[in-house]
Structure 1
């Protein structure tokens, strides 16, 4: 979710977590070993000896899965193939979240659409239980024709900075687990809920593969072995990253200039008493 205490990068390829401390380095490479189906009964299935996970949705239920481990910081890579054809009303979500009412969460949700119309990539950030930080994008490729990575295919889409110094809560003191769900959101997901799910085309299916998590796992609240600056297990430079490099900054500007369709920091109707503090930075 964040590579350091200074920046959170929301990507479809790189989703690092806050660095605090932990007890071991994790390399998650097998869905059978590192995840379990959270809900939906047999609508979620792990295939190909743990290399592929499929979620499905029908008119009775969707499905979801969850990581066994909670992370204090990590880099997560995963490839996703979305529902093809008429996917209106469906929501395929990939997110990291903590437990409790005042949760921290990073949401990446793919909002389905009618055949031929683009998916909407919906992102949100919760800190200490407060969200309402939505940014939305239209993708510049067909995410249903093949598997794609989250950064989206090498391009960062969003940054959330640590601005605790001006009173903005940040995600830096609780571990998060990784989740993915496929569910019916036709009350809001497609054109504000005006386009409903066509159940004659169910079951809808989304696919996940090539999952890798590299970072530190939170175990029993122990904070002794893997804090920033002391860890000998974390050997990748990404965990020290405090800013995007110049090339990534330019890619971020290109994505936001050409494909962003909603930004909460421009939504004066939603925030009539003033935009959130972080919008000025």
Structure 2
């Protein structure tokens, strides 16, 4: 999908790119102290004194972990190295979610593929239990060779998805149009590695090759804003001024257009067959 022009533009941007800064204090979490393995038994492992976490999948089970604390608004980062080789049928996730049937959720999902084919990065936003707001991308690098940073900026005004500090998607608060937006429920960070070969790779046409198991994904450098709230105080407020610097400047808007032009492969806001009665009300030209 990305031609030579797109790749060249990316190289130029990286050379001149200034890292996005945040006024919100953040700290690198220790996986031993700040997260807990939640399922999969010994398929999840915390190594190097809490600096590295691995999740594995075999034909019996996947695995997952979550943050011990909840938070309301802010920015979270995670460095991830995805399953290498033939990862068809596997899904690696990194997301925020509240609890309950009317939950809110902000998703990164990485859909595996056969060796040599690109991963698909699937993004979605749920509010009050309803999602169906998918955008999908190819990545401009091999996400299995090295760690790359995936970030979510969550503010009352908008949600920004970033890859290596490059914004790829903005979901704006359109409550004035009757579109639910996740802003009232505290969320935890979750991540998992699991088998979804009934749908993940080419709509389920390509199945998981269990002879390649176990499949393993690697995590490091989990960071989050320091405004954490306990599960018993989910109504605490968070001053928006703490994340004012997480706006997208002119350079960020150029990068956003670049990512969407060259690497977006699906946008629900252009899927007329899916919405024959008209596109959802938030599907308009974004100010970003």
- Shorter-chain TM-score bucket reads 0.7 to 0.9
Structure 2 regions of 5+ residues with no counterpart? 1-18, 151-161
Aligned equivalents of 1:222 and 1:189: distance in 2?
34
2:248 aligned partner = 244
TM-score, length-scaled by structure 2: 0.83
Paired residue for 1:279, among 273, 280, 283? 283
Aligned equivalents of 2:139 and 2:223: distance in 1?
23
Worse overlay, 44-53 or 151-160: 151-160
2:4 aligned partner = none
TM-score, length-scaled by structure 1: 0.85
The count of corresponding residues between Structure 1 and Structure 2 is 253
Contact 1:57/1:184 (<8 A) preserved? yes
1:95 aligned partner = 95
Alpha-carbon distance, 1:223 to partner: 4.6
Aligned equivalents of 2:252 and 2:26: distance in 1?
26
Aligned equivalents of 1:194 and 1:109: distance in 2?
19
1:169 aligned partner = 180
- Say which SS state the counterpart of residue 280 (structure 1) adopts: coil
- Give the alignment's Cα RMSD to 1 decimal: 2.0
Aligned equivalents of 2:246 and 2:167: distance in 1?
14
Aligned equivalents of 1:88 and 1:159: distance in 2?
28
- Say which SS state the counterpart of residue 277 (structure 1) adopts: coil
Alpha-carbon distance, 1:243 to partner: 4.2
- Say which SS state the counterpart of residue 72 (structure 2) adopts: strand
Matched, 1:206 2:217: yes
- Say which SS state the counterpart of residue 226 (structure 2) adopts: strand
Structure 1 regions of 5+ residues with no counterpart? 1-12, 20-24
Aligned equivalents of 1:74 and 1:35: distance in 2?
18
Matched, 1:267 2:271: yes
